[in-house]
Structure 1
Amino acid sequence: MTNLLFQLKVLPEQEDVLYVPSSLYHHQLNTIYFGTFSSICQVYEDPEAVNEIKISQNLLDLLHLPIHNDVHIYTDEHSIYIGPLIGILSAGFTGSLLRPIGKRSLLFAKLLSTASITGGIPFLFGIHHIQWDSGTILGYFYTSNGWEQREVPLPNVIYNRLPNRKTESLDAFQTIKEKLADEYQIPLFNPNFFNKWTVHTLLQKDATVRDFLPYTIDAPSLEQLSEMLEQYESVYLKPKNGSLGRGIYTLSYCSTQHVYQICFKEEKLIKKTHASLAVLVDEIFKTNEREHYIAQQAIPLFKKDNRIVDFRVHTNKNLHNEWELSAIAAKISGGETVTTHMTNGGEIESLQRVFTNPETRKKTEKLLESTALLISLALDHQVEGLIGEIGFDFGVDTRGNVWMFEANSKPGRSIFLHPSLRKEDQYTRKLSLEYAIFLSKQAILSLEASYP
């Protein structure tokens, strides 16, 4: 199979014709594919063309193919595949072409613009944009003129960027996800948000990574919490499906005063103490049922200027289906907080600013990279579905050991607001589209195998 990058040029001819360079041409070519659409056509050799495909206007209209430079061309014995057409699924659309998805419009505009580097034809859509009768989608494209809405076939691959668990759990999404996979064989990557306890139990099975995990208990009983506090002095209570540091409590025991303390963030940091652990625990779980939480040992973390530091590490699959480290940033806690999240007053900083000693920085960076790649491989083998990216929250303790606190299948991008991470911002977007291109090629190869 040939896989090259070409520019499209439209001819005013009304016949269904396609002109291709000599490097692609052979006499048996007679079908063109774009997304889930196809058409029989006349294919002619164009000896003067090098990286250009000429397509008639009539054929362009039949395929609902938008004009787009730098497309990939796949060929086999009888067919030419143009694209790939990459659908980016999200929710929260406004109906406005100025900001079609509200505050996140700029984020998606940057992602779609990255196709100028990777090739391919990406677009943004929601489940309500699918027109099942015609097999098309009214997708949003980002062009030199801004956002435009165009009708295109169902895509070769779907990148799931649904914004939250509530949306993703809707029956409508689950039904459509199954229909696209079962009836159209369209691969979808990043299918679900991770559950903290599920990830923990899966990684515990892998001897190569389990030592990076803090001791963790699901739905902890009062007796278990008491035992953990006796051993570790401080424990984090985290919602299994939480994000952005919301709903996290720190529970600790002061042996000199014989009291327990709970800390959590609402409008401000709240601290409560009591001689009875049961009283504090009952107060925590008045509205939050215990079965929705995990208890995790608190790790004595490395500090900068007496402020706790942890690390966000991004990994991505690339064009060759291999995991790569794509970004590392330090997160420094605010003055009054239980986490380092920006929503709780935390700050993003580069490793160069956190580690003044270059040797310490390089050693920490290499350790974080090797750990992230090792756990990415482990999760890739254990988790059902296709994973294209992971955002890790790591800690480094006072002895220099790495600990994994969380893994996110749809990592937030707040760290890329930092000026020093602009290259990483673009690189993570590039890798996401490259992985989509890889999956589309695999889907085409699978289609070929089905119809010898």
Structure 2
Amino acid sequence: MRIKLYYDPYTRRWVQNESEDSIKWGHNFLEVTFSGSIHEKLLPFNLAVNGKVVGPIVGVLAGEGEHYELIGNPGTFLRLHHSLSSSGALCVVFTPSSLHETGLNGYIYFDRISKWVKAETPLPNIVYNRIPFRKMEKAESFQDVLAFLHKQSIPYFNPFFFSKWNTFRWLWNNPELRHHLPLTKSLTSIQALIEMLHIYKEVYIKPSEGSKGKGIFKIDSKSSGEILLLSKGNQHSFANLNDLWEAIRSHTASSPYIIQQAIQSDRINGKRYDLRLLVHSVATEKYQVSGIGVRMAGEQEITTHIPNGGTIYPYEQIKHRIDEEKIDLIVNEIGKQLTKETNSFIGEFSIDLGKSADNHYYIYEVNSKPMVFDERSIKNKGLENLTKLLIMRASTP
């Protein structure tokens, strides 16, 4: 069933004219005032009603600029609004400073004028964390939001960005996942570099808190003794490890890096490829793959990320090579392990998964805040599963 609630942007009050009985909504069950007459300037919203409870209200936590403007992906916010609205939920985009003891001073999208409107609402039934940058999550204001949500028992996900090093350590603790992880070390000294190149002739060094393939280098130790350092569009040769270490120290000194075993990847037309998996929680300790994308490396072969020369390849054309049952097992173990290690609900994540030439699967990276997939089918299915998850979690006592 649906009920119309009306918002008055001048008095910042919500009213309804369909029931004289007490209608409540939000996490704090605030009452929606009954009004016998509705002014034409009030903004109508058609929401689900279950008995005498309206909603849910889904809060989407965004970043905040110097002048209190929203920072984040506006396309993601709009897609969430449309999907949640079609299910009778109210999508409210808010920032850390707009949360207060009894509600949100956020933004709701009004379809009639195709604009976001500032509005006062009760506390949300669930919060979806879409803070766009790691540095914003380190701010005291963000930590205050998490503390408040915890105190109020308002469910939220995902709790924070993952680092590559932490993710590796967390997954390594799971015996079922350990053999799906490339050997990885924290790159804090030349000793780690020496140890890895003693075992493997090819390794990657990656910023632990990087994304989109930025800052990644490949090191190739030739049998002749020459050492190559490869990055996007560049190649440098070194005679020894000391010279190589001096060249990369400027990167590793400014931000944490990892060093990782290079996997001999399965290839299509001579080019290596990775799988990109979008994953959502569908029940307690149960995760579902919303879609699988394929990213093929460019000629420089450093990464498969599109900004670094990678390309999209149709999954259907390689599906016969992929063991989807094995992938489902890996996905569910990852979800359960992340939940255990972070002591938080992990509702959504993406995985960069590699398949080796000998048909073994390797977990390269797990991201708590997936980027929007280019493939329309994955984008749509992911949004559908995310919407179901948000409403299901918002309705769980």
- TM-score, structure 1 as length reference: 0.77
Match of 1:205 in 2: 173
Structure 2 unaligned spans of 5+: 7-13
Deviates more, 1:426-435 or 1:186-195: 426-435
Match of 2:320 in 1: 359
Cα offsets for 1:317-365 (capped at 9, x unmatched) = 1377731110101001122251111110111222123x2xx633xx434
Match of 2:303 in 1: 339
Q: Is the 8 A contact 2:3 2:49 kept in 1?
A: no
Question: Which of 279, 289, 295 is the equivalent residue of 2:259?
Answer: 295
Aligned length in residues: 387
Offset at 1:247? 1.3
Measured in 2, the distance between the counterparts of 1:197 and 1:15 equals 50
Looking at CA atoms only, which structure, 1 or 2, has the larger radius of gyration? Answer: 1
Offset at 1:249? 1.2
Question: Which of 17, 24, 35 is the equivalent residue of 1:57?
Answer: 35
Are 2:193 and 1:225 equivalent residues in the alignment? yes
Change (3 A) 1:10 1:156: closer
Change (3 A) 1:220 1:270: same
Cα offsets for 1:416-440 (capped at 9, x unmatched) = 32xxx32321221122222222222
Change (3 A) 1:226 1:435: same
Structure 1 unaligned spans of 5+: 1-5, 21-28, 42-54, 446-452
Measured in 2, the distance between the counterparts of 1:377 and 1:226 equals 34
Measured in 1, the distance between the counterparts of 2:27 and 2:43 equals 12
Cα offsets for 1:352-400 (capped at 9, x unmatched) = 23x2xx633xx43443333223322222222222211010000000011
Matches within 5 A, 1:174-323: 174-182=143-151, 184-255=152-223, 257-265=224-232, 269-289=233-253, 292-318=256-282, 322-323=286-287
Cα offsets for 1:96-135 (capped at 9, x unmatched) = 9xxx7578322321121112443311121222433x3764
Match of 1:429 in 2: 383
Offset at 1:68? 3.1
What is the root-mean-square deviation of aligned Cα atoms in Å?
3.1
Measured in 1, the distance between the counterparts of 2:326 and 2:183 equals 21
Match of 1:378 in 2: 337
Measured in 2, the distance between the counterparts of 1:231 and 1:15 equals 69
Offset at 1:60? 9.8
Match of 1:47 in 2: none
Match of 1:391 in 2: 350
Question: Which of 28, 36, 51 is the equivalent residue of 1:36?
Answer: 28
Measured in 1, the distance between the counterparts of 2:185 and 2:192 equals 8
Measured in 2, the distance between the counterparts of 1:58 and 1:180 equals 35
Offset at 1:92? 5.3
Measured in 1, the distance between the counterparts of 2:353 and 2:234 equals 25
Are 2:72 and 1:107 equivalent residues in the alignment? no
- TM-score, structure 2 as length reference: 0.87
Match of 1:122 in 2: 91
Are 2:349 and 1:407 equivalent residues in the alignment? no
Measured in 1, the distance between the counterparts of 2:294 and 2:169 equals 27
